[in-house]
């Protein structure tokens, strides 16, 4: 087996702590992953992992070997990047993640155009509204919509995205239009929320006359798919807090209307997150520059001419 491939598998098993997860990350089977680790251990004459029923725990030799293996793979990445200086030389595969709304509206449509320009680069795009572990899932980059907590990743701002509270006219006819965040809570309005594993309790941060304030909200439905959330709102089931670009057409057509205008939500940042060690890779830079430029233009067009002032 290729020694470099064995090193790559070892590093991912070490970082993920699980043979099956590392196999998925390297796009192979657990049997192949196990064989690569066994082959590496035979070559070195040492045991790299202690096997338990739930997890692979690195041995002391495994911990020492990981540091060197990681440096070797980083050096290979740097060497490849040094010779890939032209469009014709850029090649390989890029693994990208994005939220459903952003990915469907602003990224997926541009991937074929990127491929037309960089014919030897393949793109693997994952769309999900759940929290993404860029390093743990072996991604080169991820687009993130929301407030980012402390991170070891390199962050590049794409745009500040204004948000809105809105509901269907049928909901407002039945329950009334809350003037502000206080009325939203006091009158027990149905707030539809995005929920994913590890999410905190629901809080909407709204801008009051005294400054930003967090409101604890609840409602009859929750989901981990932002488009499902919008569908429920269109069906008159409650109020949603959304980036304006996700509901712009519904607002233009009157299928959704703004509510609680006296206390609008804070805007949210759309960012691109990249592992620091991947920043020198020309194909990563090429894809990032290509997509971000088009995202900015698409975001501007999505809300152009949309008047939402109270």
40 and 103 assigned to the same domain? no
Q: Domain range for residue 261?
A: 163-266
Same domain, 146 and 277: yes
Last residue of a domain, one of 28, 58, 83: 83
Domain at 275, CATH number = 3.40.190.10
Claim to verify: residue 155 and residue 283 sit in the same structural domain = yes
In a domain, 64, yes or no: yes
Those residues whose C-beta lies under 8 Å from the C-beta of residue 224, and which sit 6 or more positions away, are 128, 129, 130, 194, 195, 196
Is residue 310 a part of any domain in this protein? Answer: no
DSSP per-residue codes, the chain: --HHHHHHHHHHHHHHS-HHHHHHHTTS-HHHHHHHHHHHHHHHTS--EEE-SS-EEE-HHHHHHHHHHHHHHHHHHHHHHHH--STTT--EEEEEEE-HHHIIIIIGGGHHHHHHHSTTEEEEEEE-SS---TTTTT-SEEEEES---S-SSEEEEEEEE-EEEEE-HHHHHHH----SHHHHHHTT--B-EE--TT----EEEEEETTEEEEEE---S-EES-HHHHHHHHHTTS-BEEEEHHHHHHHHHHTSSEE--TTSPBPPEEEEEEE-GGGTT-HHHHHHHHHHHHHHHHHHHHHTTT-----
Rounded to an integer, what distance in angstroms lies between the CA atom of residue 208 and that of residue 184? 13
Please check whether residues 172 and 236 belong to one and the same domain.
yes
pLDDT 10s digits, 122-151 = 999 999 877 778 877 778 899 998 876 656
CATH number for the domain spanning 49: value is: 1.10.10.10
224 and 169, same structural domain?
yes
**Is the domain of 59 the same as that of 185?**
no
Q: Do residue 230 and residue 219 come from a single domain? A: yes
Is the model more confident about 206 or about 73?
Answer: 206
The CATH number given to whatever domain includes residue 183 is 3.40.190.290
pTM to 2 decimal places: 0.71
For 168-205, how does the pLDDT look when each residue is reduced to its tens digit (9 = 90+)? 999 999 999 999 999 999 999 999 988 765 555 578 89
Is 226 in contact with 129 (CB distance < 8 Å)?
yes
Q: Is 307 within a domain? A: no
Number of independent structural domains in the chain = 3
**Please, what is the average pLDDT of the chain?**
86
């Amino acid at each position: 087996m290729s020694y470099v491939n064995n090193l790559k598998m070892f590093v991912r098993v070490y970082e993920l702590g699980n043979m099956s997860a590392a196999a998925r990350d390297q796009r192979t089977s657990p049997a192949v992953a196990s064989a690569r680790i066994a082959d590496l251990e035979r070559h070195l004459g040492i045991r790299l992992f202690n096997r338990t029923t739930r997890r692979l725990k690195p041995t002391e030799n495994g911990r020492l070997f990981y540091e060197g293996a990681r440096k070797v793979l980083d050096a290979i990445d740097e060497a490849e990047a040094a010779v890939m200086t032209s469009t014709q030389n850029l090649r390989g595969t890029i693994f990208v993640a994005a939220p459903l709304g952003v990915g469907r509206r602003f990224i997926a449509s541009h991937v074929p155009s990127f491929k037309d320009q960089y014919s030897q680069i393949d793109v693997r795009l994952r769309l999900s509204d759940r929290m993404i572990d860029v390093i743990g899932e072996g991604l080169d980059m991820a687009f993130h919509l929301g407030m980012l907590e402390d991170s070891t990743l390199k962050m590049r701002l794409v745009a500040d995205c204004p948000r809105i509270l809105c509901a269907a006219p049928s909901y407002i006819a039945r329950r009334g239009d809350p003037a502000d965040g206080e009325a939203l809570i006091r009158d027990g309005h149905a707030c539809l929320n995005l929920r994913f594993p590890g999410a905190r309790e629901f809080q909407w941060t709204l801008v009051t006359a005294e400054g930003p304030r967090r409101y604890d909200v609840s409602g009859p439905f929750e989901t981990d798919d932002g488009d499902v959330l919008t569908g429920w709102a269109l069906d008159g089931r409650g109020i949603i807090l959304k980036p304006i670009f996700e509901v712009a057409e519904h607002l233009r057509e009157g299928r959704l209307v703004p509510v609680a205008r006296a206390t609008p939500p804070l805007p949210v940042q759309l960012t691109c997150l990249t592992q620091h060690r991947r920043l020198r890779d020309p194909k990563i830079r090429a894809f990032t520059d290509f997509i971000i430029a088009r995202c900015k233009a698409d975001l501007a067009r999505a809300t152009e001419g949309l008047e939402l002032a109270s």
